[in-house]
């Protein structure tokens, strides 16, 4: 294919190289080039948060990042949240609190929630709701999601 660019980046701690067109988003690259389909597409214009990843320490919507912009950066995705030892407390809390129904928004919520708790381990309900306002969920009404994040805080402190 003409005009492919070689990009060297780090994804979930692993040095990763890929080829992409400049017009391809990071979301497209993750899903279609690298086969990492855990990051979901809900709107492709930054308004639903389903494609949330961490880029150099900040959460971003990967649909609004070009794949070529990942050059030299560190990307973390849902695939990197659990460790070989087991699920992350945020993931466990989502399971135990029934904080997902259809599950399509769940990877985005988990990546965003983990990023919040890494930064603010004592975030209260209001802060959690503010932080997660960029992640749409249509199934749960957010109640059990907010409770799960509060529960994850307790789990992470235990």
Partner 1 sequence: MTSNIVLSEVEYNVVGKRHVRPDGVDKVTGRAQYGADVQLAGLLQAKVLRSPHAHARIKSLDTSAAERHPGVYAVVTAADLPFASLTREELGGDYQRLKFASNHVLATDKTLFKGHPVAAVAADSLHVAEEALNLIKVEYEVLPPAMTVKQAMKPNASLLHDDLFTSELGEMSDKPSNVASHMAFEAGDVEQGFQQADVVLEREYETASVHQGYIEPHNSTAFWNADGQLNIWCSTQGPFVVRTNVADILRHPVSKVKVTPMEIGGGFGGKITAYLEPIAALLSRKSGRPVKLLMTRTEVFEASGPAPGTWMKVKLGASRDGRITAADIFLAFEAGAYPGSPVMQGAACALACYDVPNARINGYDVVVNKPKTAAYRAPGSPQAAFAVESVIDEICEQLNVDPLEFRLRNASREGVRRVEGPVFRRIGLVECLEAARNHDHYSAPLEGPYRGRGVAAGFWFNRGFQSAVNISVNPDGTVNLIEGSVDIGGSRASIAQQAAETLGIAYEDVKPTVVDTDSIGYTMVTGGSRTTFATGWAAIEAAEDVKTQMVERAAQIWDASVDDVEYVDGVLSHKSDPELRMTFRELARQLLGTGGGITGASNVDPAGEGNGFGVHVVDVEVDPDTGKVTILRYTAVQDAGKAIHPSYVEGQMQGGVVQGIGWALNEEYFFSDQGQMMNSSFLDYRMPTALDLPMIDTVIVEVANPGHPYGVRGVGEVPIVPPLPAIASAISHAIGARINRLPANPGAVLEAMS
Partner 2 sequence: MEAIEYTTPKTIAEAVQAMASAGDRARALAGGTDLLVQLRGGRRSADLVVDVKDIPELNEVSYNPQSGLTIGAAAPCYQIYANADVAANYPGLVDSASLIGSIQIQGRASLGGNLCNSAPSADAIPPMIAMGGVANIAGPNGTRQVAVEDFCTGPGRNVLESGELLVSINIPAPAPNSGANYLRFIPRNEMDIAVAGVGSAVVLDSSGQNFVSARIALASVAPTPVFAREAGDSLAGKAVSDESIEEAARLAMEAAVPITDMRGTVRQRIHLVGVLTRRTLNNAIRRARGEE
The C-alpha atoms of residue 38 and residue 56 are separated, in whole angstroms, by: 19
Candidates 5, 34, 64, 87: give the one binding partner 1 (CB under 8 A).
87
Sign of the Cα pseudo-torsion (149, 158, 78, 46, in order): positive
Between 26 and 65, how does the x/- string for binding to partner 1 read (CB under 8 A)?
--x--x---xxxxxxxxxxx-xx-x---------------
Angstrom distances, CA of residue 90 to CA of 29, 44, 141, 150: 26, 25, 18, 9
Query: Is residue 101 close enough to count as binding partner 1 by CB under 8 A?
Result: yes
Residue 151 DSSP symbol: H
Binding of partner 2 by 112 (CB under 8 A): yes
Q: Which residues bind partner 1 (CB under 8 A)?
A: 1, 21, 23-24, 28, 31, 35-45, 47-48, 50, 77-79, 81-82, 87, 91, 94-98, 100-107, 110, 128-130, 132-147
């Amino acid at each position: 294919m003409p005009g492919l660019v070689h990009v060297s980046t780090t994804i979930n701690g692993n040095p990763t190289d890929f080829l992409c067109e400049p017009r391809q988003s990071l979301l497209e690259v993750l899903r279609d080039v690298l086969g990492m389909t855990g990051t979901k597409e809900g709107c492709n214009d930054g308004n639903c948060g389903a494609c949330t990843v961490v880029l150099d320490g900040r959460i971003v919507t990967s649909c609004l990042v070009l794949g070529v912009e990942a050059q030299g950066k560190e990307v973390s995705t849902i695939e990197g949240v659990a460790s070989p030892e087991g699920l992350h407390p945020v993931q466990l809390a989502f399971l135990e609190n029934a904080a997902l129904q259809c599950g399509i928004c769940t990877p985005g919520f988990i990546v965003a929630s983990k990023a919040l708790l890494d930064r603010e381990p004592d975030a209260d309900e209001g802060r959690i709701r503010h932080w997660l306002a960029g992640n749409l969920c249509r199934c749960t009404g957010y109640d059990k999601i907010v409770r799960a994040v509060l529960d994850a805080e307790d789990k992470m402190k235990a």
